[in-house]
Amino acid sequence: MNDIVLKNIDKIVSGDINVGVVPGDTVVVRNGLISGVGYAKDVDTSGIDLVVDVDGQTVCPGFIDCHIHNTLDDYAPQRGAVGCYSDALYSGTTTMCSEGEQGPGWPRFYDDPIGCKAAAIMSKRVFDRFRPGGALKVHGGALVLVHGLTEQDFKEMAEAGVWLIAEIGGGGLSDPVEVEPMLEWARKYNFFYSVHLAPPSIPGSSWVTSEAILKLKPNKVAHTNGGSTAVSFDHIERLMDESDIPLELVVNGNFVNFNKMLKHMDEKNELDRLVFGSDAPTGQASLPGAINRAIVKASSLNEIPAWKAIAIATGNAADLYRLNTGKIEVGREADIQVIDCPPGSCGKDVLAAIEHGDPIGNSMVIVDGRIVGFRGRDSRPTARFCKIEGNPAYVTGITEHLFFPPQICRYYEGFGINQ
């Protein structure tokens, strides 16, 4: 029973770019789903023992990273890093979507249709059961298009639960003449597919023009601002102005295009077409705080309200991928963060701090109504902190802050709190 009450909230950021900040000071979760949002006097909190006083902080949905290149475990072979997905969870990213699994000797690098099919099914099955950090939701199993795949392969993969196709152009086939027949099968079996916009950046990647993207009509353009090298901006303008295709921004891509795109889409009143990704955990992309930094960068450098930048990282992504998370509304999976400005920030709350360019601090991360962390390992300390059943939960010293996540005392074990 994942039941929890968050009370004494200053602002509830819905994650819905058409709604913004919703009135209220309380969020109620029952059975891992949000059951009430509003003022304490108006919502039903009966029968829930676990009550968290957030002490005037802000509540928002967990972030969604729309672009990762995962392996089959919490490991990044190119960086030799272990636990990188867990770190992202503790920094507030609660959901990730694969753009193609990779690792040493993987079949995607050898034009191997049987291997790519098997790898997609295997990765989907792994992440259906394995959650990094005990809670992170990873949508794995993104098929790389290679020679030799048949309609029967797509049918069998769909029946096995595979629904993602890895970014076209990031490896495997990318020529529209070759991939279009496969995309007809993908559409028939309800696959989600993206095409990347960037010059060749790694061995095996390829250049896909804006003209080709308009023909292929993907569900998303991956790393539109550069992955990490950028195309000339006229290609991006064409996609922004001649289509309604959702566009992804990655924090490690071209900085100038990142900002120019945000300003252009804001002027068009089409920020709802944007999502964020990390393109990690390759060596050029840092995973744990990627989405946090994308939010701060998008808001502070482009005069975009912080709640809209948060919506790009949450509700926009949930709508694009058809996920029942990413928004603070009744019936959604309770993937929630308590966030605040860092101590001494020029902003009086986290939204003002973001708009000033200050980092986000996490004082609590909740997935499916279960507390999984009191702060990100790499996030800033928060000006305020949560109280669980009246007991303060905060970082107690420099060693704990720099080297260890806060430990959960035995008092909380009865409430099912895990760290």
- Which CATH architecture fits 4-61+327-415? Roll (2.30)
Residue 409 clears pLDDT 50, i.e. is over it: no
What is the spatial distance between Cα 6 and Cα 40, in angstroms, rounded to a whole number? 10
Q: Is the pLDDT of residue 360 over 70?
A: yes
Q: How far apart are CA 73 and CA 182, in angstroms?
A: 29
Alpha helices by DSSP H, 189-305: 210-216, 233-241, 255-267, 290-300
Residues listed for the chain = 419
Write the DSSP string, 117-153: HHHHHHHHHHHHH--GGGT-EEE--EEPP-TT--HHH
Q: What type of residue sits at position 125?
A: R
pLDDT digits (tens, 9 = 90+) for 198-221: 776 666 566 778 888 998 999 999
- Specify the 3-state DSSP secondary structure of 91: coil
User: What average pLDDT does range 276-304 have in this prediction?
Assistant: 87
Q: Classify 67-288 by CATH class.
A: alpha beta
pLDDT of residue 42 exceeding 90, the answer is yes
To the nearest 10 degrees (0 to 180), the angle between helices 151-159 and 176-188 is: 40
3-class DSSP assignment, residue 267 = helix
Identify the pLDDT of residue 284: 64
* Residue 247 binned pLDDT confidence (cut-offs 50, 70, 90): very high
**Structure-model confidence comparison of residues 111 and 139, the more confident one:** 139
Give the separation between CA 8 and CA 6, rounded to whole angstroms: 7
- For residues 233-251, b (16+ Cβ closer than 10 Å) or e, as one string? bebbeebbeebebbbbbbb
What average pLDDT does the structure give for the chain? Answer: 89
How much is the average pLDDT of 375-380?
A: 66
Residue 292 CA: distances (Å) to CA of 119, 142, 216, 391, 407 = 30, 24, 31, 28, 23
Averaged pLDDT for residues 49-53: 94
pLDDT of residue 170: 76
For the stretch 314-331, pLDDT in tens is 999 999 999 999 999 999
Tokens matching residue 213: 């993207």
pTM (2 decimals)? 0.93
Q: Kindly give the residue spans of alpha helices, DSSP state H, lying in 23-107.
A: 84-90
pLDDT at position 410, please?
A: 35
Q: Could you tell me if 194 and 220 are in contact, meaning their C-beta atoms sit under 8 angstroms apart?
A: yes
104 upstream amide cis, omega within 30 of 0: no
Q: Mean pLDDT across the stretch 97-116?
A: 88
Under 8 Å CB-to-CB from 107, ≥6 apart: which residues? 114, 115, 116, 118, 119, 146
- Distance in angstroms (rounded) separating the CA atoms of residues 186 and 188: 5
Instruction: Over range 70-77, report the average pLDDT.
Output: 79
Type of residue at 189: Y
Domain residue limits, the chain: 4-61+327-415, 67-288
Q: What residues pair up with 13 in beta bridges, in sequence order?
A: 21
Give whole-number Cα distances, 218 to 150, 180, 185, 224, 311, in Å: 20, 11, 13, 13, 22
Residue matched to tokens 């009143």: 269
Of 135-139, 208-212, 224-228, the poorest mean pLDDT is in 208-212
